[in-house]
Amino acid sequence: MENKKHSMEHASTENKFIQLKIKRPENMKNDLLSGLTVALALIPEAIAFAFVAGVHPKVGLYAAFIMGLITAIFGGRPGMISGATGAVAVIFAPLAISHDISYLFSAVILMGIIQVLFGAFKLGKFIRLVPHPVMLGFVNGLAIIIFKAQFPQFTVGGEILATSPLIMMCALVALTMAISVFLPKLTKAVPATLVGIISVTVIGYFINQANPGAVRTVLDFVRDQDNTINTIAVGLPHFSLPIIPLTWESFRIILPYAVLAAAVGLIESLMTLTLVDELTETRGKGNKESIGQGLANILNGFFGGMGGCAMIGQSLINIRGGGRGRLSGISAAVLLLVFVVFGSGLIEMIPLAALVGVMFMVVIGTFEWSSLRLHGKIPMSDVIVITSVSIITVFADLAIAVLAGIIMSALVFAWEHGKTMHAKKTEEGGKTVYRLNGPLFFASITSFKDLFDFKNDSEHVVIDFKESRVWDHSGIEALQNVTERYEQNGKKLHLLNLSKDCNQLLDKAKGIVELSFIEDLEWHIADDQLDG
């Protein structure tokens, strides 16, 4: 009864995104309007991440355009938005600072090649091995990161804004958020976030006309970072082959950055894909998305972009705005380029407060608030994993957090399942038969060895694996040890009902024990057909 109660409580947490699910159907108008909103939100972040990477803002803007366009066309998750990201920018920053920018572009190309190979070999399915608590910790950690990323907008030269500009900033942020919350209750004909941005931009324009500088704009933010830049306007990206020495030394320089960026980019993209799947109750294709991300990064390197991956904040803006199809991502990318090439003057007038308000709404929607009430309702080990992944995501990086969470969950799983090894012992026709129940692997070998009575069992001993399985080398060693113990007591051991795939594991034991296999019994951790 206790187990049943625990299972029901744990199952209730499986609906972690129940309040976030949006079943709005795919619609061209929604895709275009949502893409417009996303394009406006992409611009300041692309510029900010370019400064993080130590490159010119246009390198970040080109990356946002190319990543968004190519992944929208070729990726495996319609409605998900990709662009220049902080995670990738931080990785490439040391390379951009210490070497010519051609090394950065070469590393981005290599990053893309690695990602294409990852998808081509159908490794994207392994994202399905990420445990549920790790996913919760991931979204909570990212929500905190997005929240922290807004702090620089409230400062100038590293110092917090003066009282009057700060009050104005907070008031406009609050107005943007209020429009985002209350407008959908009146009409859903247009995205509330888009209306919020436009409304606050109009208000900010008239305030600045009356009192210049009272409302900080996108152009003000860019000038704060580099006072030599007077506009965000750029030309169209053009093809250029990165020029670096074709030597082993050059390859050795870019390889570590490319591998790390590819790993972080794929983890963030596939985790975001999983989240969008939950929100829309549809299924994306991890392998296809990996190839799309790789193609986008390869083109980034040839067209002067800094590379990137999926963006959870902009993806949520798109989903909440009604963007479901590939057109939403395509329109976001194309409109972004149109704005910075032909309409930079209008974009430069957008108040930072409007974009901060939109991102604060993303934070509120991203953070899984119900996870704060899970203590006592789910195993303490799951609570520890959720908390640990959130903290590591904030203070280290996403890749380390996810890997740490998977390792912690795997160790908990091993410990719990290691305690479940037991057997039903019977005497049948002069043989002692042990019918195992539970997996045989490193955590269960001690309890496995304790099952047998080596001195008092019959001359022939049968271990039936119908309800069990040998999982690893430790299990083989345990079988070897049990075999030797029976042999020392002059007894013969028979292993029955082993799965066919255990044959390879037990090769070295064939001369000692008698084996039988069920030829068509196989296990697979995932099916490539499901992931595309």
Give the confidence band of 506 by pLDDT, cuts at 50, 70, 90. Answer: low
What is the structure's pLDDT at 22?
Answer: 52
pLDDT of residue 264: 85
Q: Which two tokens stand for residue 173?
A: 């942020």
- Under DSSP, is residue 26 helix (H, G, I), strand (E, B) or coil? coil
Six token digits for residue 399: 């890749």
**What mean pLDDT is predicted for residues 236-264?**
93
CATH code of the domain occupying 421-518? 3.30.750.24
Q: Which of 272, 363, 237, 297 is nearest to 91 (CA)?
A: 297
Local confidence band at 17 (pLDDT 50, 70, 90 cut-offs): very low
Write the CB contacts of 16 (distance below 8 Å, at least 6 apart in sequence): 132, 135, 136, 278, 368, 370, 371
Mean pLDDT, range 259-278, rounded to an integer: 89
Furthest-apart CA atoms within the chain: distance in Å: 101
Average pLDDT of the segment spanning 69-97: 92
**pLDDT tens digits, one per residue of 391-404:** 998 888 777 888 89
Pick the closest to residue 179 from 192, 167, 164 (CA basis).
192
- 9 close to 378: Cβ distance less than 8 angstroms: yes
229-243, 470-484, 500-514, range with greatest mean pLDDT: 229-243
Q: What is the pLDDT of residues 370-390, one digit of tens each?
A: 888 887 788 888 899 999 999
Q: What single-letter DSSP state applies at residue 122?
A: T
pLDDT of residue 65: 97
How many other C-beta atoms lie within 10 A of the C-beta of residue 319? 24
Q: Which helix (H) or strand (E) holds 155?
A: strand 155-156
Average pLDDT for residues 206-235, to the nearest whole number?
90
Give the distance, in angstroms, between the CA of residue 463 and the centroid of all CA atoms in the same chain: 43
Contact indicator for 366, 316 with CB cutoff of 8 Å: yes
Task: Please state the domain extents for the chain.
Answer: 2-14+30-393, 421-518
Q: Answer yes or no: are the C-beta atoms of 357 and 173 closer than 8 Å.
A: yes
| C-alpha distances in Å from residue 455, one per residue of 17, 194, 332, 417, 479 | 56, 79, 74, 28, 17
Contacts of 463 (CB under 8 A, 6+ apart): 434, 436, 482, 493, 494, 495, 496
Residue type, 486: Y
* Confidence tier at 525 by pLDDT (50, 70, 90): very low
pTM: 0.73
Cα gap 290→296, rounded to integer Å: 10
Q: What is the pLDDT of residues 110-153, one digit of tens each?
A: 999 999 999 999 988 777 778 888 888 888 887 888 888 888 88
Q: What is the DSSP letter of 306?
A: -
Q: Helices (H), strands (E): how many in the chain?
A: 21, 9
What is the per-residue pLDDT across 270-312, written as a single tens digit (0 to 9) for each?
Answer: 989 988 998 888 889 999 999 999 999 999 999 999 999 999 8
Tell me the pLDDT of the chain averaged across its residues. 85
Say how far apart CA 167 and CA 164 lie, in whole Å.
5
